[in-house]
Amino acid sequence: MSRLSESVTSVMHILDGADLGADYTVSQLLDETTARRSLDLSDLSPQEQAALVEGRAINLIPSAAVLAEKIEAARTEGRQFVIKYGIDPTSPDVHLGHAVPIIIASRLQRMGHHVVFIIGDVTAKIGDPSGRSSERPALTDEDIARNLSTYQQQVTPFIDFERADLRFNGEWLNKVSLPQLVEILARVPVSMSLQREDFRTRIAEGQGLSIAEFVYSVVMAMDSVAITADVELGGVDQLLNLQMCRKVMEISEQTPEVVIATPLIEGTDGTGSKMSKSKGNYVGLTATPDDVYGRLMSIPDHLTESYLQLLTEWTDDEIGVVAKRLEEGTAHPMAVKRILAGEVVAALHGPHVAAAARAEFTARFSKRSFGDTQNLPVVSLKDHAEDTLGALVSRTLDFAPSISAVRRVAQQKGLRLIREVDGEQQTTQLTEASVQQALGAVVSEVGALDGVELYLKVGRKVARIDA
| CATH code, domain carrying 403 | 3.10.290
35 in any annotated domain:
no
Q: Is 458 helix (H, G, I), strand (E, B) or coil?
A: strand
63 in any annotated domain:
yes
Q: What is the pLDDT of residue 36?
A: 93
DSSP state, residue 259: E
> The whole model's pTM is what?
0.77
Number of independent structural domains in the chain? 2
Instruction: Report whether 67 contacts 44 (CB < 8 A).
Output: no
Q: How many Å is the Cα radius of gyration of the chain? A: 25
For 462, the enclosing helix (H) or strand (E) is: strand 461-466
Q: What is the pLDDT of residue 454?
A: 86
Average pLDDT, the chain: 88
CA angle 101, 348, 455 (to 5 degrees): 120
Q: Is 365 helix (H, G, I), strand (E, B) or coil?
A: helix
Is pLDDT of 322 > 90?
A: yes
Selection from 368, 346, 369, 347 nearest residue 357 by Cα: 346
C-alpha dist (Å) from residue 467 to 380, 439, 453: 6, 11, 9
Query: End of a domain among 225, 244, 262?
Result: 262
Q: What is the pLDDT of residue 83?
A: 98
pLDDT, greater one: 393 or 277: 393
Averaged over 165-180, what is the pLDDT? Answer: 94
18 in any annotated domain:
no
Q: Is 437 helix (H, G, I), strand (E, B) or coil?
A: coil
229 in any annotated domain:
yes
Question: What does the alpha-carbon distance between residue 3 and residue 48 come to, in Å, rounded to a whole number?
Answer: 12
Largest Cα–Cα distance of the chain, in whole Å? 78
* Cβ-based neighbour number of residue 347 at 10 Å: 25
Is pLDDT of 382 > 70?
A: yes
Is pLDDT of 305 > 70?
A: yes
pLDDT digits (tens, 9 = 90+) for 356-366: 999 888 876 65
Query: End of a domain among 215, 245, 262?
Result: 262
304 in any annotated domain:
no
Report which residue type is found at 227.
Answer: I
* Cβ-based neighbour number of residue 126 at 10 Å: 23
DSSP state, residue 256: P
Range with the lowest mean pLDDT among 21-35, 105-119, 314-328, 360-374?
360-374
The domain of 402 spans 378-466
Together in a domain, 252 and 104: yes
Non-local (6+) Cβ contacts of 174 within 8 A are 122
* Cβ-based neighbour number of residue 134 at 10 Å: 11
Selection from 226, 202, 225 nearest residue 213 by Cα: 202
Together in a domain, 252 and 382: no
Q: What is the pLDDT of residue 139?
A: 73
* Cβ-based neighbour number of residue 407 at 10 Å: 19
Which range of 17-21, 145-149, 254-258, 349-353 scores highest in mean pLDDT? It is 254-258
Together in a domain, 382 and 255: no
Q: What CATH number corresponds to the domain at position 106?
A: 3.40.50.620
Instruction: Report whether 354 contacts 346 (CB < 8 A).
Output: yes
DSSP string across 186-223 = TTS-HHHHTT-HHHHHHHHTT----HHHHTHHHHHHHH
371 in any annotated domain:
no
Q: What is the pLDDT of residue 367?
A: 55
pLDDT digits (tens, 9 = 90+) for 129-146: 665 545 556 677 788 888
Question: What does the alpha-carbon distance between residue 319 and residue 150 come to, in Å, rounded to a whole number?
Answer: 33
Is pLDDT of 326 > 70?
A: yes
Averaged over 95-99, what is the pLDDT? Answer: 90
DSSP string across 110-161 = HTT-EEEEEE-TTHHHH---TT-SSPPPPPPHHHHHHHHTTHHHHHTTT--T
Q: What is the pLDDT of residue 133?
A: 47
Q: Is 261 helix (H, G, I), strand (E, B) or coil?
A: strand
CA angle 71, 76, 78 (to 5 degrees): 95
Is pLDDT of 73 > 80?
A: yes
Instruction: Identify the burial level of 192 via C-beta atoms within 10 angstroms of its C-beta, where 0-12 means exposed, 13-18 middle and 19 or more buried.
Output: middle
Query: End of a domain among 244, 262, 280?
Result: 262
Q: What is the pLDDT of residue 273?
A: 87
Question: What does the alpha-carbon distance between residue 127 and residue 216 come to, in Å, rounded to a whole number?
Answer: 8
* Cβ-based neighbour number of residue 430 at 10 Å: 24
C-alpha dist (Å) from residue 354 to 160, 264, 344, 362: 21, 25, 8, 12
pLDDT digits (tens, 9 = 90+) for 429-460: 899 999 999 988 888 887 666 667 888 888 87
Selection from 261, 233, 231, 256 nearest residue 80 by Cα: 231
pLDDT, greater one: 50 or 396: 50
169 in any annotated domain:
yes
42 in any annotated domain:
no
C-alpha dist (Å) from residue 235 to 7, 65, 239: 28, 21, 7
pLDDT, greater one: 92 or 384: 384
Selection from 274, 271, 207, 270 nearest residue 237 by Cα: 274
Instruction: Report whether 157 contacts 354 (CB < 8 A).
Output: no
Sign of CA dihedral 298, 278, 196, 223: negative
Question: What does the alpha-carbon distance between residue 355 and residue 343 come to, in Å, rounded to a whole number?
Answer: 10
Averaged over 278-282, what is the pLDDT? Answer: 82
pLDDT digits (tens, 9 = 90+) for 106-125: 999 999 999 999 998 888 88
